[in-house]
Chain A
Amino acid sequence: MSTTTAPVRQAVRAAERVAATRRHVSVGETLGQTLAMAWRAAKKMRRNPEQFFDVALQPVLFTAMFAYIFGGAIAGDVQSYLPLMIPGILAQTVLTTCMVTGVQLREDMEKGVFDRFKSLPIARIAPLAGPMVADLLRYAIAATLTFAMGLLMGYRPGGGVAGVLGAILLAILTGWSLAWVFTWVGTIARSAGGVHGISMMILFPLTFLSNAFVPVETLPGWLASFVRINPVSHLVTAARDLANHAQVSGAVAWTLLACLVVVAVFAPLSVRSYKRHI
């Protein structure tokens, strides 16, 4: 079979196309592509509402469990434990939620559609950052439910509405930043199960070796020194100061700095390992 074609016309057209190509993706384009990817992730969330179960159930379950189990032992009674514990649960739920980001990215990357994303002239960071933008909704739900559950159990935050909103915002921002760690894990692990395993190893020490549930003073010296540099401790302290006293303490600055460092390190690492991924 032979087809009649017009080689000269083809060549001209192809040459025009080559001349019209752009060498780099601009920052504006990167943002637009990230938002398009966020739109995709949001559509998927709407179609699979069951993936909100964890963010909805965990704060409710953990708040009740931890309050009644540790309340008496640590603070004398449940009521006086709540101001200490609610910001701790806030940090814990947000961290668990960002682990899901990594697991879902890994599952997503197995699919054929990621091949197409790779073959498109788009910023390499967009397929990674897009879902994270949509995940902001998850952090917001988890954080709000934690406080709602606390209020139901009798927690009366001294920082008022502004203080609580400040704590929620800080938690969302920290969740988004730390999610880059799990996104990176998502790009290097071989399977979604692997991401889950590795993430748990990171998550447990980070949450429990912090001041989230117990006062630092009760810990042995070597442990206390780790707890004091743990960024999760800073988040918990900052959230306590905001929610309970409407106070913007130095811990806020430390938390933001830690977020910045995490993003600066893990965003480029994630993109690099995503590019290398076959």
Chain B
Amino acid sequence: MSITELGRTAPSSGTEPAVLAEGLVKAFGDHRAVDGIDLEIRPGEIFGVLGPNGAGKTTMLRMLATLLAIDAGRAEIFGVDVAGRPHVIRQLIGVTGQYASVDEQLTARENLRLFARLQRIPAPSARRIAADLLGRFGLEEAADKPIAHFSGGMRRRLDLAASLITKPPLIFLDEPTTGLDPRTRGQMWDTIRGLITDGCTVLLTTQYLDEADQLADRIAVIDHGRKVAEGTPDELKTMVGASTLQLMLAEPGEVPAAVEAVRRGLGSEPVLSPEKGRLNVALDQADMAADVLIALRTAGISISSVSVAKPSLDEVFLALTGHETETEETR
């Protein structure tokens, strides 16, 4: 598998990268969940790690967060070795997991106070910080209610608040909006954008291209434990096209003729889908769909359905790796 390097290499400004990883490997038995990943994240940016379920995103993040041992390769956070000085690393990071990592039997306020107390913050300051964070994350009303009654979005917000108690310079967010409804998702995005104005560096993993597009300054695409591409969202989208024309032919047998027609009409190569008679055409602009349709009409090929969509993660993967996302059981 070749690595498509899209991003510019980081300019050596003399400052330490927020995260520097070289050849990270994690193996569970024969399965190499993370198989040699290099990363360089600059201070103050939101860096997105995009990939399907089981691509190794969470495993990589857990290694960087000292929650999993690094099997091979090395990682530094602000110049500090992750494997060698985990206690120092833990003072520099905040981790918000895929599943809310707060105590379900305590209230929101009690949770925040507990995590503050554990991190050497004296009781009066802990109380004040808890109140501040509850206000900032819109949890004041629910502050003294059991978390069991919280909605998914409230839990995620509390979880994120708990990661911010000591204002760590680096925040790890593992799939921060998976399972949230669209409105709550938008709120969470606003919150995450707010983090960098506080001076945080953010590493977030996601399965959604639009999420990475909305939030990240740069994106690494991960598949089967390897990095398959890296760049800004614009660079990635240029590669895949701004939108995708999805065609279903009335006669699956006419696919080769349709490919030929698209090639002639648009000058680009359509992507065949494993589904019989379906092909996708990457478009730089959505209105180019008309050109394709006209080309097909001229060639006498009839279509059973047509739609124009934003490129999905599937399309990114088709374009980058030549195969569709395969959902594997995560670790």
Q: Are A and B co-members of a single complex?
A: yes
Q: Contact residues of A with B, CB < 8 Å? A: 1-3, 5-11, 13-15, 17-18, 21-25, 29, 32-33, 36-37, 39-40, 43-44, 47-48, 111-122, 126, 278
* Whole-angstrom distance between the Cβ of A34 and the nearest chain B Cβ: 10
**Residue interface bits B205-247, CB-to-A below 8 A is 1, else 0:** 0000000011111000000000000001100000000000000
Contact B119 A120 (CB under 8 A): yes
* Residues in B whose Cβ lies below 8 Å from that of A114: 101
B46 touches A21 (CB 8 A): no
Partner of B117, one of A21, A36, A117, A121: A36
| Residue pair A119, B44 in contact (C-beta under 8 Å) | no
Number of interface residues of B (CB under 8 A): 55
Q: Which listed residue, A10, A29, A122, touches B199 by the CB 8 Å rule?
A: A10
B87 touches A24 (CB 8 A): yes
- Ordered by A's residue number, 23 sampled pairs between the chains whose C-beta atoms are within 8 Å are A1-B214, A3-B45, A3-B46, A6-B44, A7-B13, A10-B44, A10-B169, A10-B199, A11-B16, A17-B169, A21-B91, A22-B87, A29-B120, A37-B118, A47-B105, A111-B103, A112-B97, A113-B103, A115-B101, A119-B66, A121-B91, A126-B118, A278-B68
B43 → chain A closest CB, angstroms: 4
Interface SS of chain B: loop
Q: A10-B43, A278-B67 are in contact. List 16 more A-B contacts (CB 8 A).
A: A1-B214, A7-B44, A17-B91, A21-B80, A23-B87, A23-B88, A33-B117, A37-B118, A43-B106, A48-B105, A111-B104, A116-B162, A119-B67, A119-B95, A120-B115, A122-B118
1/0 contact string of B170-185 vs chain A (CB within 8 Å)? 1000000000000000
Q: Tell me the dominant secondary structure on chain A's binding face.
A: helix
Contact between B78 and A14, CB atoms less than 8 A apart: yes
A177 CA to B33 CA in the complex, in Å? 40
Expressed in whole angstroms, the minimum distance between the Cβ of A3 and any Cβ of chain B is 6
- The proximity string for B residues 68-108 relative to A, scoring 1 for CB distances below 8 Å and 0 otherwise, is 10000000001110000101101111010101111111100
Q: Which residue of B lies closest to A121 (CB)?
A: B90
Instruction: Say yes or no: A112 contacts B101, CB within 8 Å.
Output: yes
> Are A14 and B16 within 8 A (Cβ)?
yes
Q: Is the CB–CB distance between B78 and A17 below 8 Å?
A: yes
